[in-house]
C-alpha cells in the first residue's frame, strides 16, 4: 500500500508546486498592453528655421559685422599698397627703407592673422547661433506637442548635401499628410510671437 501511495504523493506535491508556480507567474507577468492609435503630427524643420525671425536677425547682424571687418581689412590692404609704392621710391639699405620694410612686414602679418581670427570668430558665432536656435525650435515643438497631446512628431523631409556648388536636395520622409496634421506654420507663428516679446 505504501508503494502505491508514494508515487501518488509525489505527483500531488509536484502538482501543488506547479499550481503555486502558475499562480506566481500569473501575478508577476504583465498582461497585454493596450495601445491607442497615436496622435501624429508633421513638421518641416528647415522651413521653421528659415522663417524664424531670430535667425534672420542674427544673420543680418553677422553680415553687418562682416562688412565692417571687410572694410577694415581693405583699409589695411590700402596701407600695404601705399608702403609698397613708397618702397619702390626709396634707396635700399637706408634708414627709411628699413623702416618701410619693417612696416610692410608688420602690416602683412597683421592682415594675415586678422583674416584667420575673423574666420574663426564668425564660424564660432554661426555655430553658437545655430545651436541656440536649434534648441529653441526643438523645445517649442516639444511644448506644442505636449499641450496638444500629440504622441509623435515626424520630420517632413531630410536634406542631403549637393556635390560641388549644388544646392542641398530635400528628400521627403512623409509623402502625404492631411493639412490638419501639419504643424510647421503653428511652430513658426509661436516662435516669432515669443521672439517679438
Residues 6+ apart with CB under 8 A from 108: 80
How far is the C-alpha of 10 from the C-alpha of 17, rounded, in Å?
Answer: 11
What does each C-alpha distance from 100 to 76, 77, 94, 105 come to in angstroms?
Answer: 15, 15, 10, 9
Q: What is the pTM of this model?
A: 0.67
CB 167 within 8 A of CB 197: no
How far is the C-alpha of 162 from the C-alpha of 46, rounded, in Å?
Answer: 16
User: Which domains occur in the chain, in start order?
Assistant: 33-196 (3.30.910.20)
CB 176 within 8 A of CB 159: no
* pLDDT band per the 50, 70, 90 thresholds, residue 11: low
Give pLDDT tens digits for 113-170. Answer: 888 898 899 999 999 999 999 999 999 999 999 999 999 999 998 877 767 767 777 7
Cell numbers at residue 144, please?
A: 506644442
How far is the C-alpha of 155 from the C-alpha of 153, rounded, in Å?
Answer: 7
Residues 6+ apart with CB under 8 A from 168: 159, 160, 161, 162
Amino acid at each position: 500500500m505504501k508503494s502505491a501511495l508514494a508515487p501518488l504523493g509525489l505527483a500531488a506535491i509536484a502538482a501543488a508546486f506547479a499550481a503555486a508556480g502558475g499562480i506566481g507567474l500569473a501575478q508577476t507577468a504583465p498582461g497585454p498592453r493596450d495601445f491607442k492609435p497615436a496622435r501624429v503630427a508633421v513638421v518641416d524643420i528647415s522651413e521653421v528655421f528659415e522663417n524664424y525671425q531670430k535667425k534672420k536677425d542674427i544673420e543680418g547682424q553677422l553680415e553687418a559685422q562682416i562688412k565692417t571687418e571687410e572694410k577694415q581689412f581693405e583699409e589695411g590692404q590700402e596701407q600695404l599698397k601705399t608702403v609698397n609704392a613708397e618702397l619702390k621710391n626709396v634707396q635700399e639699405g637706408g634708414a627709411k627703407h628699413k623702416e618701410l620694410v619693417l612696416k610692410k612686414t608688420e602690416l602683412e602679418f597683421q592682415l594675415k592673422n586678422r583674416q584667420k581670427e575673423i574666420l574663426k570668430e564668425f564660424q564660432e558665432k554661426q555655430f553658437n547661433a545655430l545651436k541656440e536656435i536649434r534648441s529653441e525650435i526643438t523645445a517649442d515643438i516639444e511644448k506644442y506637442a505636449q499641450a496638444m497631446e500629440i504622441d509623435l512628431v515626424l520630420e517632413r523631409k531630410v536634406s542631403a548635401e549637393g556635390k560641388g556648388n549644388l544646392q542641398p536636395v530635400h528628400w521627403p520622409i512623409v509623402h502625404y499628410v492631411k493639412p490638419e496634421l501639419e504643424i510647421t506654420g503653428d511652430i513658426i507663428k509661436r516662435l516669432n510671437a515669443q521672439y517679438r516679446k
